């Protein structure tokens, strides 16, 4: 079973996505189809032995749709070679095959819409002027136009309307045609039927004026309605298309992070090559200000790298030998050489782009109701429009006479068809999801799908692993006590001199601290490891010991045992330095708490979210860290299966649980939780299992992710509310339901205006998410 996402040309409304799904699902070999109006894509699962994209494209072509991008098949239904196979860059491949050009095609489509808008705008302005003048004359606010002008306009408007309908309105006429031929309707069909009926009625009146004078009001035609409605729809579509392009700019910005070339060392010489020529194991030179082309690790040099475009963190990160660097980040000051370990689609940047694309194209559960309504919306609206016309002709004739009843009936018929807007419903959820997922990516929050984003807003309990989530996951020097007459610098130098010959992780923590303080070490003689206790060595003619309390006790030296025990109970490891006479000082090493952890927990509490810490560590260590950070509940000394049981237990109590972790042992719990959050510094297993990945393992991004979810869901609910209200109020108003009570009947011109701006307002509301501060 093959799965692929394809961009589709011709999707103009939510009913289009429903129509595409229904049509393709009937094809033998197609398992499922998910069409998304917001992204104008369709994700198709199909059996390649039974069908291919060429066959599927033929099924939707008569309905006015076609696959335009990411199509891996040629006209015979066979796979087109990839850019790598053809020895081309992605840009050259797109140009050669016509694949991956959706952005350019969308811009071309917007440009075409702009030209149409410019050409119809003067006609619409002229028509609105005439309509407004007629209204002013009725209320004695203006004088009637001279007879010769009335006669001139009487013949001019049909010409304007003909151009508007048959040139600018061609897509809507095609929608009408496809409805008549294939019995498949969408929003274009509604506009096409409404404007065609208005035009046809007016044309018959104009052609057979004298014949119809006894039966109809021949003074009243609807050419102006045809012109202005098509103009407003064109304006709405133009604004909507421009706004929709902006909703997806996160992907474009991520793509622009990719370097085009790399400076590779080959046979001892520097060569600038295309990014596609970089392979595993290449040594790449990075100069100040250069963008890093692929993922790898530094083999030579030290620098600071700006990773803000990947992680959202504004401060450049120091990079030294053996540190990882990732594609898309920018080197700031120093120069270095690194070895390529991941290229092409393997890089973190490529993974992020793929994840964002998949998430933006996915559906949120909240969209289900809108999808169901959109699927039956157009047929229901068409039935309502004919019912309204029939009611006016049958009931209205007895009250107003046939001529006036026909006039009212036609206004209602066209008004219902024009004002009904499945677009607002169809855009309500996907546009907000696209913007929300894109904003998350900019902040270093990768969201796997829309369902995860929706679930996150209702989370009331966050369960965190200690190591790598609350703490840094590596030992650091967190305390230093000098009880000697030596200076702090001298004492630390002695510590470093002894520890630099040790392979213990604690020794690395001490050496890193000393390095950052720019303290130089000395020379040690007679170095010896005292197994299970510590080390000793002679420095500047004096023997020194560095180790645990047991070593110092055996030396017969006195020390602050209670203080050492207290430090140990808080999860700190004391390293005591002594000579043969006395204890000189103590260094405390621990898995340090992340600087942002306290603020993150405090922010979660403000949001009414309970924080629980699960850890395999000793209960005293866990409690000490929990107390310092402000965590509500601690469960220590747990096994991986215990973490899973705790998540299930919380869910049985009715809690909505998010689990944050970074290790393989967290994967089962991440999968069980309502939302799994992987810290980006963790294992691939944890990242694959989780619904959300936080790059660089910043725990404060849990808060940002929840805020993003709440903002996005609020935007979706606002969009759906206005889309439903708009249709619930607009359709009855256009149909004349309020006419018997208040004399209200909506002119189709205003219906077209309202319909055009309803979808624009939904997209604009979604775009407001970009301005929200997380």
Q: Which residues are known to be catalytic?
A: 465
Distance CA 224, CA 235 (A): 16
Residue 298: strand, helix, or coil? strand
Distance set, CA 4 to CA 30, 97, 350 (Å): 12, 17, 17
Q: Which two tokens stand for residue 1?
A: 């079973």
The sheet that has 692-694: what strands, in order across it? 445-447, 692-694, 675-679, 657-661, 461-465, 610-614, 633-635
Q: Are 234 and 173 in contact, with CB atoms under 8 Å apart?
A: no
Helix orientation angle between 619-629 and 561-569, rounded to the nearest 10 degrees: 80
Tokens 């546009």 found at: 431
Distance CA 19, CA 548 (A): 73
Distance CA 718, CA 151 (A): 48
Tokens 């109020």 found at: 729
> By C-alpha distance, which of 530, 570, 572, 521 is closest to 552?
530
Distance CA 696, CA 594 (A): 12
With b for 16 or more beta-carbon neighbours within 10 A and e for fewer, the 284-312 pattern comes to bbbeeebbbbbbbebeebebebbbbbbbb
Query: What sign does the dihedral 426-427-428-432 (CA atoms) show?
Result: positive
Distance set, CA 110 to CA 41, 195, 236, 240 (Å): 18, 23, 12, 10
Neighbours of 445 (CB within 10 A): 27
Distance CA 595, CA 478 (A): 12
Distance set, CA 492 to CA 260, 520, 521, 751 (Å): 47, 9, 8, 79
């Amino acid at each position: 079973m093959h799965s692929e996402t394809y961009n589709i040309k011709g999707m103009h409304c939510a009913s289009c996505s429903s129509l595409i799904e229904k049509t393709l699902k009937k094809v033998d070999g197609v398992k499922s189809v998910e069409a998304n109006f917001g992204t104008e894509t369709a994700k198709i699962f199909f059996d390649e032995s039974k069908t291919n994209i060429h066959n599927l494209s033929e099924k939707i072509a008569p309905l006015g749709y076609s696959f335009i991008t990411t199509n891996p098949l040629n006209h015979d239904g066979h796979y087109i070679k990839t850019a790598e196979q053809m020895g081309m860059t992605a840009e050259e491949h797109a140009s050669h095959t016509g694949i991956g050009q959706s952005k350019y095609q969308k811009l071309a489509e917007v440009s075409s819409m702009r030209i149409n808008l410019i050409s119809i705008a003067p006609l619409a302005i002229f028509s609105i002027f005439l309509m407004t003048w007629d209204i002013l004359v009725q209320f004695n606010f203006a004088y009637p136009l001279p007879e010769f002008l009335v006669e001139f306009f009487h013949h001019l408007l049909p010409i304007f309307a003909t151009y508007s309908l048959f040139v600018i309105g061609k897509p809507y006429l095609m929608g009408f045609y496809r409805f008549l031929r294939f019995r498949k309707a969408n929003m274009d069909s509604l506009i096409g039927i409404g404007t065609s009926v208005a035009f046809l009625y007016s044309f018959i009146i104009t052609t057979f004026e004298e014949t119809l004078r006894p039966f109809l009001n021949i003074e009243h035609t609807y050419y102006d309605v045809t012109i202005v409605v098509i103009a407003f729809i064109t304006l709405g579509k133009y604004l909507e298309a421009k706004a929709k392009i902006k909703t997806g700019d996160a992907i474009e910005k991520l793509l622009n992070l990719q370097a085009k070339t790399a400076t590779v060392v080959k046979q001892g010489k520097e060569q600038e090559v295309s990014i596609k020529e970089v392979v595993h194991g290449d040594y790449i030179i990075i100069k100040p200000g250069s963008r890093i082309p692929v993922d790898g690790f530094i083999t030579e040099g030290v620098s600071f790298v700006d990773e803000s475009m990947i992680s959202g963190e504004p401060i450049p990160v120091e990079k030294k030998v053996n540190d990882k660097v990732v594609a898309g980040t920018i080197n700031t000051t120093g120069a270095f050489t690194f070895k390529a370990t991941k290229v092409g689609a393997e890089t973190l940047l490529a993974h992020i782009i793929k994840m964002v694309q998949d998430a933006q194209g996915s559906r949120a559960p909240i969209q289900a109701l809108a999808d169901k309504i959109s699927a039956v919306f157009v047929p229901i609206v068409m039935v309502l429009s004919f019912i309204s016309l029939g009611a006016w002709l049958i009931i209205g004739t007895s009250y107003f006479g046939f001529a006036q009843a026909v006039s009212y009936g036609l206004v209602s018929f066209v008004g219902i068809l024009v004002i009904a807007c499945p677009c607002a419903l169809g855009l309500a959820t996907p546009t907000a999801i696209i913007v929300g997922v894109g904003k998350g990516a900019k902040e270093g929050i990768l969201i796997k799908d829309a369902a995860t984003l929706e679930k996150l807003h209702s989370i009331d309990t966050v369960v965190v692993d200690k190591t790598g989530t609350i703490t840094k996951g590596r030992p650091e020097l967190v305390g230093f006590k000098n009880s000697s007459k030596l200076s702090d610098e001298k004492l630390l130098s002695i510590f470093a001199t002894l520890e630099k010959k040790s392979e213990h992780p604690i020794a690395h923590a001490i050496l890193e601290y000393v390095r950052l303080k720019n303290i130089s070490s000395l020379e040690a003689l007679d170095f010896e490891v005292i197994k299970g206790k510590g080390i000793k060595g002679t420095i500047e003619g004096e023997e020194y010991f560095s180790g645990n309390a047991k070593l110092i006790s055996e030396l017969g030296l006195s020390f602050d045992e209670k203080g050492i025990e207290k430090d140990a109970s808080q999860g700190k490891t004391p390293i005591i330095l002594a000579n043969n006479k006395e204890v000189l000082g103590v260094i405390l090493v621990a898995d340090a708490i992340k600087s942002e952890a306290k603020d993150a927990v405090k922010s979660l509490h403000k949001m009414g979210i309970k924080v629980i810490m699960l850890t395999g560590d000793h209960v005293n260590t866990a409690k000490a860290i929990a107390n310092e950070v402000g965590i509500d509940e601690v469960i220590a000394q747990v096994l991986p299966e215990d973490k899973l049981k705790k998540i299930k237990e919380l869910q049985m109590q009715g809690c909505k649980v998010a689990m944050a972790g970074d290790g393989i042992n967290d994967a089962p719990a991440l999968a069980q939780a309502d939302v799994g959050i992987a810290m980006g510094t963790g294992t691939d297993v944890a990242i694959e299992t989780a619904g959300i990945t936080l790059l660089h393992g910043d725990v404060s991004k849990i808060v940002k992710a929840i805020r993003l979810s709440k903002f996005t869901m609020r935007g979706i609910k606002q969009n759906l509310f206005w889309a439903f209200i708009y249709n619930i109020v607009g359709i009855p108003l256009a149909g004349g339901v309020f006419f018997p009570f208040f004399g209200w009947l909506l002119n189709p011109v205003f219906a077209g205006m309202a319909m055009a701006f309803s979808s624009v307002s939904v997209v604009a509301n979604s775009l407001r998410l970009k301005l929200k501060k997380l």
